């Protein structure tokens, strides 16, 4: 069966009206057979606040009241079955119970906390999926609520579980595929379950990734990601009003964008889609008629400049040692230390006796730990001198054949004639050119580059 998957993000499910728009979207496409939902907007953040264990009993009750307020505002528009009502009540009660248990934990019970946190966070998607299933049913859709934990098998790394792709494929073919012919499956993004039956989560914003994984597992023809923007933009429209939505972008370009700071898609989302060559559409559930961006393997156009991404809060670590002069193995020593402390290195430039490295400081990068600890610095200082610079931002120019097109440098440096470019990386990929500037100049730099490369007659041409 040639089905599509629709994933709705939190803002798309924020209230009954928003959910109704999503129902229109499902109804408008016969082939949409799997719906993956996030928690209603704000709910995961409230659950995260409860998971810290640092709220007072009053603050806890406030947070729980807010969550239940969001759900009941939606529920009043629906004729929920007694089974659905008791499921919602149970979930809200569970939120209260887990929050209290977490608040009572002692120092040193970190393992228990992370495990309970995943159970707590999972309630958001369970609530929204129950409600959205009913919205669809009342609109005449033969919707079937599925607990994704029956399919999404993961490791036991609570908070950032790794998905067991083969098991998911097998479980999906047993438990989802047979239903697709007649029903629309509504299920939860973001959550999974380990082999012992413990609830896990895939990391914040992980619902996109869930949708892509289920798309891969059920061999879907397209994954539609419905969010609050009309696609992937040339750059963040909050930086420049001249930014515009792209009609298409390749997997490689989009992966660079997600990695280098664009928030539209979760960075892991594209991995399953690329693996199976499934196109991903990104559009706004508020304005589906405005279209959106299609992300696919081969794009019709391959402009040199496709987009500009910004990642703030960059730290530049420069390590220097005279031992490096003609000596093999120095880089290996430095990187071994960084790996030991689980630091995720982004950019690297080298000179004869120095190496400059950026580390992701936003915590959004895949699994790396962005904190530079004193112990790690001590260890590095045994082999080299270390300098740390902060308040930098990484600007990534994304496109095609950037490494072999003439004129990129001319355009770039002419635009940045009065800007201090602290570091520049180009050549490893034909899809990007990255550089570091002072954080305070970053948005101005992007507006100017956007003007020079994407506006007037420039639209993407080198
Ligand atoms: N609800 C989760 C979060 O806010 C997952 C998601 O929305 O993708 O992080
Ligand atoms: Mg979300």
What ranges do the domains of the chain cover?
4-228, 306-455
**Beta bridge partners of residue 398, listed in sequence order:** 307, 432
Q: Is 192 in the pocket of ligand 1 (CB under 6 A)?
A: no
For 193, counting Cβ atoms within 10 Å of its Cβ (0-12 exposed, 13-18 middle, 19+ buried), the class is buried
What average pLDDT does this structure show over 184-201?
A: 98
pTM: 0.88
Q: Is the fold of 4-228 the same as that of 306-455? A: no
Model confidence band, residue 366 (pLDDT cutoffs 50, 70, 90): very low
CATH number 3.30.2130.10 given to 306-455: yes
Taking alpha carbons only, the member of 227, 91, 97 closest to residue 147 is 91
Give the tokens for residue 399.
């496109």
Per-residue pLDDT of 408-430, as tens digits, reads 999 999 999 999 999 999 988 89
pLDDT of 368 above 60: no
Q: Is 206 in the pocket of ligand 1 (CB under 6 A)?
A: yes
CB 171, CB 153: distance < 8 Å: yes
Per-residue pLDDT of 71-128, as tens digits, reads 999 999 999 999 999 999 999 999 999 999 999 999 889 999 999 999 999 999 999 9
pLDDT at 396: 95
Per-residue pLDDT of 333-347, as tens digits, reads 899 999 898 888 889
What average pLDDT does this structure show over 18-24?
A: 98
- Give the residue, by CA position, lying nearest to ligand 1 atom 5: 205
From the CB of residue 66, how many other CB atoms can be counted at a distance below 10 Å? 15
Per-residue pLDDT of 280-314, as tens digits, reads 999 999 999 999 999 999 999 999 999 999 999 89
The alpha carbon of 220 and the centre of ligand 1 are apart by a number of angstroms equal to 22
Per-residue pLDDT of 262-275, as tens digits, reads 777 887 888 999 99
pLDDT of 458 above 70: no
First to last CA, the chain: 43
Coil vs helix vs strand at 333: helix
Q: Is 124 in the pocket of ligand 1 (CB under 6 A)?
A: yes
Q: Is 361 in the pocket of ligand 1 (CB under 6 A)?
A: no
- Give the residue, by CA position, lying nearest to ligand 1 atom 2: 205
Q: Which ligand is nearest to the CA of 205?
A: 1
Of residues 334 and 13, which shows the higher confidence score? Answer: 13
Mean pLDDT comparison of 230-239, 265-274, 369-378, highest-scoring range: 230-239
- Give the residue, by CA position, lying nearest to ligand 1 atom 6: 205
Q: Which ligand is nearest to the CA of 44?
A: 1
Q: What is the CATH number of domain 4-228?
A: 3.40.1160.10
Alpha-carbon dihedral sign for residues 187, 190, 194, 197:
negative
Q: Which ligand is nearest to the CA of 208?
A: 1
Least confident of 72-76, 104-108, 166-170, 230-234: 104-108
Question: Would you say how long the chain is, in residues?
Answer: 462
The alpha carbon of 396 and the centre of ligand 1 are apart by a number of angstroms equal to 25
* % of the chain surpassing 70 pLDDT: 96
The alpha carbon of 207 and the centre of ligand 1 are apart by a number of angstroms equal to 6
């Amino acid at each position: 069966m040639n089905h599509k998957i629709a994933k709705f993000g939190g803002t798309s499910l924020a209230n009954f009206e928003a959910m109704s728009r999503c129902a229109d979207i499902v109804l408008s496409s016969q082939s949409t057979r799997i719906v993956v939902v996030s928690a209603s907007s704000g709910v995961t953040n409230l659950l995260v606040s409860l998971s810290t264990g640092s709220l007072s009993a009053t603050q806890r009750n406030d947070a729980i009241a807010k969550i239940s307020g969001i759900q009941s505002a939606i529920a009043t528009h629906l004729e929920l079955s007694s089974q659905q009502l008791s499921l919602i009540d149970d979930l809200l009660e569970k939120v209260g119970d887990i929050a209290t248990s977490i608040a009572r934990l002692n120092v040193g019970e970190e393992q228990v906390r992370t495990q309970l946190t995943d159970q707590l966070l999972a309630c958001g998607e369970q609530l929204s999926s129950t409600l959205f299933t009913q919205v669809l049913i009342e609109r005449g859709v033969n919707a079937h609520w599925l607990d994704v934990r029956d399919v999404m098998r993961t490791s036991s790394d609570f908070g950032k579980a790794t998905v067991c792709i083969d098991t998911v494929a097998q479980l999906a073919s047993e438990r989802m595929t047979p239903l697709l012919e007649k029903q629309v499956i509504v299920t939860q993004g973001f959550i999974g379950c380990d082999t012992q039956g413990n609830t896990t989560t895939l990391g914040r914003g992980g619902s996109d990734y869930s949708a892509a994984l289920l798309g891969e597992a059920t061999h879907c023809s397209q994954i539609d990601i419905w969010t609050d923007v009309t696609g992937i933009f040339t750059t963040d429209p909050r930086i420049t009003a001249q930014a515009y939505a792209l009609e298409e972008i390749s997997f490689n370009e989009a992966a660079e964008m997600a990695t280098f700071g664009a928030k539209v898609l979760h960075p892991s989302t594209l991995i399953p889609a690329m693996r199976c060559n499934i196109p991903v559409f990104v559009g706004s559930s508020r304005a589906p008629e405005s279209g959106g961006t299609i992300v696919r393997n081969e794009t019709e156009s391959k402009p040199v400049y496709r987009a500009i991404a910004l990642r703030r809060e960059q730290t530049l670590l420069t390590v220097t040692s005279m031992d490096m002069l003609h000596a093999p193995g120095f880089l290996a020593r430095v990187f071994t230390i960084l790996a030991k402390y689980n630091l995720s290195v982004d950019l690297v430039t080298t000179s004869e006796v120095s190496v400059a490295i950026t580390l992701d400081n936003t915590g959004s990068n895949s699994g790396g730990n962005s904190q530079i600890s004193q112990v790690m610095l001590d260890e590095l200082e045994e082999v080299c001198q270390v300098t740390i610079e902060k308040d930098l931002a990484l600007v990534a120019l994304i496109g095609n054949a950037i490494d072999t097109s003439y004129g990129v440098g001319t355009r770039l440096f002419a635009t940045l004639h009065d800007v201090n470019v602290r570091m520049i990386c180009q050549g490893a990929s034909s899809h990007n050119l990255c550089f570091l500037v002072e954080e305070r100049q970053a948005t101005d730099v992007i507006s100017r580059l956007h003007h020079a490369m994407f506006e007037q007659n420039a639209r993407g041409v080198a």
